[in-house]
Amino acid sequence: MHTLDIHSATTDQILSLDNIRSVLIRLEETIVFQLIERAQFARNAKCYVPGGFPELAEREGWTSSWLAWFLKETESTHAKVRRFEAPDEYPFTNPELLPTPILAPVTYPQLLWKHAVNVNDQIMKFYVESIVPGITRTLGENADDGHYGSSAIRDMEVLSALSRRIHFGMFVSESKFRAAPASFIPHILTPNRDALAALITKPAVEAALLVRLAEKAKVYGQDMDRPGANAEDREKERKIEVDTVVRIYKTFVIPLTKEVEVDYLLTRLEGVDQRQVEEMLRTDKFVG
Ligand SMILES: O=C(O)C(=O)C[C@]1(C(=O)O)C=C[C@@H](O)C=C1
């Protein structure tokens, strides 16, 4: 299951760790493919610089970057169809600049506790400073192919997939919290970030992920369109380097997902009835 099936499943089914991890695994495919799509184009550095397109300031009064403008335009349409009402979708654009939905609100089951987590600024910074230069390296640091629309479309797709994946950390930590509330509550109340980080960290899951991801990047990034070419020749025309993809996950995606998990947990008890907290501590059973 790729999307969160919040309409036909029960809260317990949705929040089962197996279910959540299966979404994270499917998002690996999405992210590898989207990175390959963006890597066809040059770095096009001016798309990411505020004021890089003077015509945007003249025509639209927009002085930030080309990509920020493109996101604002696209996310405005998405906001109208209530994309950001969903508990797994977070905009890159300041919500004050986005319109309200045209469609009536959907009633979602209570999956996440109320929170103010949104790490899209960090995702954007790492994407522009590290991911784009990394995946477009072979064409050169200053390469500019003029495909500003195409690269912005791909940028938006990679960023959306990364954002969904990383914010999914909140479902992971909600699930872990419900499974063992008495372990989490003391560290939430202290509060103790390091202890919470230790509780949510699963080294074996991370190790298996990196092996699986390398396999996916290896296979999907090969050039299969050369009849008769042997494996060695296919490697010469790689669409994306395996190491680059693995590094993106290892140094950025997993650590930021963990930060999101901890950030979410830190405010998990705000507004929760004191008697419920005490009961969870005593019984180690979730009370919602
Ligand atoms: O699967 C989990 O338990 C997660 O918390 C997700 C995740 C990840 O980012 O993939 C993060 C932390 C864990 O150490 C393992 C994996």
Question: What are the pLDDT digits (tens) for 225-253?
Answer: 777 777 777 777 789 999 999 999 999 99
Q: Which two tokens stand for residue 196?
A: 């919470």
One-letter-per-residue 3-state SS of 170-237: HHHHHHHHHHCHHHHHHHHHCCCHHHHHHHHCCHHHHHHHHHHHHHHHHHHCCCCCCCCCCHHHHHHC
Q: Token pair for residue 70?
A: 């493109």
Per CATH, the number for 11-283 is 1.10.590.10
Q: Is 209 in the pocket of ligand 1 (CB under 6 A)?
A: yes
Do 258 and 201 contact (CB within 8 A), yes or no?
A: yes
Q: What is the pLDDT of residues 5-44, one digit of tens each?
A: 666 678 888 899 999 999 999 999 999 999 999 999 999 9
State if residue 173 touches ligand 1 by the CB under 6 angstroms criterion.
no
Q: How far is CA 242 from CA 219, 247, 259, 280, in A?
A: 9, 9, 25, 44
Structure-token match 């610089």, residue found: 49
Q: CB of 188 closer than 6 A to ligand 1? A: no
Q: What radius of gyration, in Å, describes the C-alpha atoms of the chain? A: 21
Q: What are the pLDDT digits (tens) for 51-73?
A: 999 999 999 999 999 999 999 99
The residue whose C-alpha atom lies closest to atom 16 belonging to ligand 1 is 206
> Among 12-21, 136-145, 275-284, which range has the highest average pLDDT?
275-284
- Pocket flag, ligand 1, residue 137 (CB < 6 Å): no
Q: d(Cα 171, Cα 87) in Å, to the nearest integer?
A: 9
Please write the tens of the pLDDT for every residue from 98-134: 999 999 998 888 899 999 999 999 999 999 999 999 9
Query: Has the ipTM of the complex gone over 0.95?
Result: yes
For ligand 1, atom 3, which residue shows the shortest CA distance? 202
Looking from the CA of residue 254, the nearest atom of ligand 1 is 9
Query: How distant, in Å, are the alpha carbons of 103, 106, 194, 205 from that of 38?
Result: 32, 33, 36, 28
Amino acid (one-letter) located at 98: L
Is the minimum distance from the CB of 23 to ligand 1 under 6 angstroms? no
| Ligand 1 atom nearest 173 alpha carbon | 5
Ligand 1 pocket: which of 257, 260, 263 to mutate (most atoms within 8 A of CB) = 257
- Report how far residue 142's alpha carbon sits from residue 124's, in angstroms, rounded to the nearest whole number: 20
In 3-state terms, what secondary structure has residue 252? Answer: helix
CA 96, distance to chain mean position in Å, is 21
Q: What share of the chain is helix, strand, coil (3-state, %, to 5)?
A: 65, 0, 35
What three-state secondary structure class fits 26? helix
Peptide bond into 191 cis (omega under 30): yes
Nearest ligand 1 atom to the CA of 261 is 5
Q: Is 67 touching ligand 1 by the criterion CB < 6 Å?
A: no
CA-closest residue to ligand 1 atom 9: 254
> How far is ligand 1, taken at its centre, from the CA of residue 108, in Å?
25
Does the predicted TM-score (pTM) go above 0.90? yes
Ranges of each domain in the chain: 11-283
Point out the ligand 1 atom lying closest to the alpha carbon of residue 203: 14
pLDDT per position as a tens digit, 166-188: 999 999 999 999 999 999 999 99
